[in-house]
Amino acid sequence: MPEMNMVQAINDALRFEMQQDDRVVVLGEDVGKVGGVFRVTAGLFDEFGADRVIDTPLSEGGIIGTAVGMALYGLRPIPEIQFSDFIFPAYDQIVSEVAKYRYRSGGEFPCNMVIRTPVGGGIRGGHYHSQSPEAQFIHVAGLKVVCPSTAADAKGLLLASIRDPDPVLFFEPKRVYRAAKGEVPEGDYTVELGKANVIREGKSLTVISYGAMLYEAMDAAEKAAEHGIECEVIDLRTLWPLDIDTIIASVKKTGRVVIVHEAPRSCGLGGELVSLINEKAFLHLEAPPRRVTGFDTPFPYTLEMEYLPLSHRILPALTETANY
């Protein structure tokens, strides 16, 4: 299998599906001739032309509104929002139209689309290019939300998302766009939506994370192991619907759990995970569930590394939870 980074894996998935299905259309700001601000769509314009790789005006609401029309017509649009921070002008289209069409039409118009967007900090982008708004979409019925951590999962999850009958928000952690490298299967390859991945076995406590922070959680878990704390690390991959069975099975085994995400703490996905764990595995817990997250502030520029829940912030939470 060839080795790819996440950018290359996503590009490979887009190219493969566009070759297989002429209903697949890519649209967004600078996705065509430029190949996207992060070059994720590089080369697609030359191969598929302006009718299927469409440079749009700078109008996020217009991009998603256009994609809605395409989807209802029978196409499978993949609109790109250049940064997840810019998705809010399209929030009404996503929440009021994209998420509702399948339900309001009794399944006649499923509004198939995958909304791709880079997410998170780590590139010194400041407060308008570094946010993690996933919880605001997880709360919306009718949407699926995906955030891969590895190159192979990025390809497999994206192909599965394009073929899914529901609209999918596909968050791409830009901090590891080129840092996350690995072998990626060629050709047709999918990863089932709604299935988490246990990437490290352990019996002392469960660590749940996703996206770029998975690597920080893994680093903290390796350091904890030096002190005899064996962490089981779960990569969520699909943020909604959650693979709650994998999570609960792990928590029942370890009795302790730490959740890591870079989005702000209050009303983040970590809070929902804590609630579900308490509902389904309360009698198995030997310590209070703990969250290590971003702060309830606008994302900072000069203090970016203090804001992110990096390994040095995660490790004390692992140690304290294990020794509770």
Question: What band does 34 get if pLDDT is binned at 50, 70 and 90?
Answer: very high
pTM of this structure: 0.96
Look up tokens 């995970």; give the residue: 273
Map out the domains of the chain with their CATH numbers: 3-183 (3.40.50.970), 197-322 (3.40.50.920)
Per the structure block, which two tokens stand in for 179?
């840092």
Question: How much of the chain exceeds pLDDT 70, in percent?
Answer: 100
Question: What band does 184 get if pLDDT is binned at 50, 70 and 90?
Answer: very high
- In this structure, are residues 59 and 89 in contact, taking their beta carbons and an 8 Å threshold? yes
pLDDT, the chain, mean? 97
Residue 93 has pLDDT above 90, yes or no: yes
Residue 312 annotated to the active site: no
Cβ–Cβ contacts within 10 Å for residue 186, how many?
Answer: 12
Residue 124 has pLDDT above 90, yes or no: no
pLDDT recorded at residue 126: 87
What is the mean pLDDT of the segment spanning 89-99?
A: 97
**Amino acid at the residue 236:** L
Alpha-carbon gap, residue 132 to 268, rounded angstroms? 10
Query: What tens digit of pLDDT does each residue of 10-28 get?
Result: 999 999 999 999 999 999 9
Query: What tens digit of pLDDT does each residue of 272-296 get?
Result: 999 999 999 999 999 999 999 999 9
Listed residue (193, 70, 76) closest to 143, CA to CA: 193
Collect all residues with Cβ–Cβ distance below 8 Å to 7 and sequence separation of at least 6: 38, 39, 40, 177, 178
Residue 125 has pLDDT above 90, yes or no: no
Look up tokens 């998302």; give the residue: 161
Beta bridge partners of 251: none
- In this structure, are residues 193 and 144 in contact, taking their beta carbons and an 8 Å threshold? yes
What is the mean pLDDT of the segment spanning 178-185?
A: 96
Collapsing DSSP to helix, strand or coil, 291 comes out as strand
Residue 92 has pLDDT above 90, yes or no: yes
Per the structure block, which two tokens stand in for 272?
């929902």
Query: What tens digit of pLDDT does each residue of 205-255 get?
Result: 999 999 999 999 999 999 999 999 999 999 999 999 999 999 999 999 999
Alpha-carbon gap, residue 169 to 218, rounded angstroms? 25
Collapsing DSSP to helix, strand or coil, 243 comes out as coil
| Separation in Å, CA 30 to CA 18, 26, 42, 119, 150 | 18, 11, 10, 17, 25
Q: Which of these is catalytic: 127, 129, 227, 284?
A: 129
